[in-house]
Structure 1
Amino acid sequence: MKTNEERMQDILEHLDGLRYIKPDSIPNIDLYMDQVTTFMDKHLSDTKRYTDDKVLTKTMINNYAKNNLLPAPYKKKYTKEHMLLLIFIYYFKNLLSFNDIELLFNPITEKHFNPSNGMPLETIYEEIFSQEETELKRIKSDILEKYQHSCKTFEDKGVEGDDLEYLQLFSWICELSFDVYVKKQVVEQLIDSLGEDQAFNKKK
């Protein structure tokens, strides 16, 4: 059985290997759905929990379009802008509901998806993901700090050996989960506020 220290090292190695999809790696030609799913599965494979998980399927893409998360393809082909939106959706879909993602993306698709003037979606994507390296450093530091704190828990409770190792692992997971829980609430509160703004603007 792995020790918690070994688990910590595995996590740091995994985080070191994470890379976002750079815009210049996305084809500048429009793609059919099969080509889209193949591309996404290849470039986001490191983020999958299980080897046989699918990053993106035809059903998923159709559901995104049905729920107004993704503009309809042009002659059954998907543009680079579609691909950029799909990458954003991939990261958000395990955190937010379709309704929340739609509210968040409405201004993006209305103003920056193939805009006649103004900032293109690719520029927004580049700006957001340019922060990846700095943000990952902060996240790694926070995970390590929580791990080190968990190593001090239960030391004076009369447990030892495998039981102590497990309880400290449980403590570490709880700390990480509470952090995610609180931040998810903050994100939902911000999106609710955005929804109120959008509803107000429609009434004008």
Structure 2
Amino acid sequence: MGNKYNREILDLIRSIQDIDYILPKDIPNIELYMDQITTFMDEHLQSSKRFADDKILTKTMINNYTKNNLLPPSNKKKYSKEHMILLIFIYYFKNFLSINDIKSILNPITKDCFQNQEDINFDRIYQEIFNIELDNIDVQIRDIIRKLNRSNETFADIEDEEKRNMLTNFSFICMLSFDIWVKKYVIENIIDHKLNPTAGKENNKN
């Protein structure tokens, strides 16, 4: 049972390599209507869904991002390639950051680089970030496998295999969760003290 469990977890971890990504070359270089954007995101990020009927992006989300000054308004109901890139970043950030935090991260980039035809434009930004994330996948997989092996060493004295698997699974989840918490802590501190220092000082007074 234990070996089968470990094989299943290892297969799950290795499946990270098969997660869908939006390649820089696949982002349309033409303006799109909202329906076309939601369809594009849904088709290209299928494997990111937890459940089959989950929506990657909806019209309501896009409208809310615009209303909250996270996404620049469309041009006569059409959205540019830059809009698409911003929506991709928002999609990933919103899984663990608040809208205000995402604004603190993205608004300076949008202000300086949105529809900028110079060297530092959205095309280059997305390409650079995509490359470093792609290079980092193997490192992430090795780290998760290391955590799995470490969690399997916990509760080794429990003779009941079902209980031991339950506890080692809990240990594994806790290790992954702590890793997320630490990284989120670092991100929030960068936002509060580097990107938005005034807000950080105001929060410290509360």
CA deviation digits over 1:121-179, x for unaligned, max 9? 110010011012321111101100000001110012x4321111111111111111111
CA deviation digits over 1:20-74, x for unaligned, max 9? 2112212221100000000000001111111110000000001111111100000
* Percent of aligned pairs sharing the same letter: 50
Q: Distance in 1 between matches of 2:117 and 2:139?
A: 37
Match of 1:187, as an amino acid? I
Q: Is this contact kept in 2: 1:4–1:169, CA < 8 A? A: no
Q: Is this contact kept in 2: 1:112–1:118, CA < 8 A? A: no
Q: Is this contact kept in 2: 1:69–1:105, CA < 8 A? A: yes
Residue 7 of structure 1 corresponds to: 8
Q: Is this contact kept in 2: 1:8–1:144, CA < 8 A? A: no
Aligned-pair Cα RMSD in Å: 2.0
Match of 2:73, as an amino acid? A
Q: Is this contact kept in 2: 1:113–1:120, CA < 8 A? A: yes
Shift of 1:6: 2.9
Residue 151 of structure 1 corresponds to: 152
Q: Which one is further off, 168-177 or 21-30?
A: 21-30
Q: Is this contact kept in 1: 2:33–2:79, CA < 8 A? A: yes
Q: Distance in 2 between matches of 1:161 and 1:150?
A: 15
Residue 188 of structure 1 corresponds to: 188
Secondary structure at the aligned position of 2:79 is classed as coil
Q: How many matched pairs?
A: 199
Residue 119 of structure 1 corresponds to: 120
Find runs of 4+ consecutive structure 1 residues off by over 4 angstroms: none
Q: Distance in 2 between matches of 1:117 and 1:127?
A: 15
Q: Distance in 1 between matches of 2:15 and 2:37?
A: 25
Q: Distance in 1 between matches of 2:80 and 2:63?
A: 15
When residues 188 and 65 of structure 1 are mapped into structure 2, their CA distance, relative to the original with a 3 A threshold, is same
State TM-score, norm by structure 2: 0.90
State TM-score, norm by structure 1: 0.91
Secondary structure at the aligned position of 2:32 is classed as coil
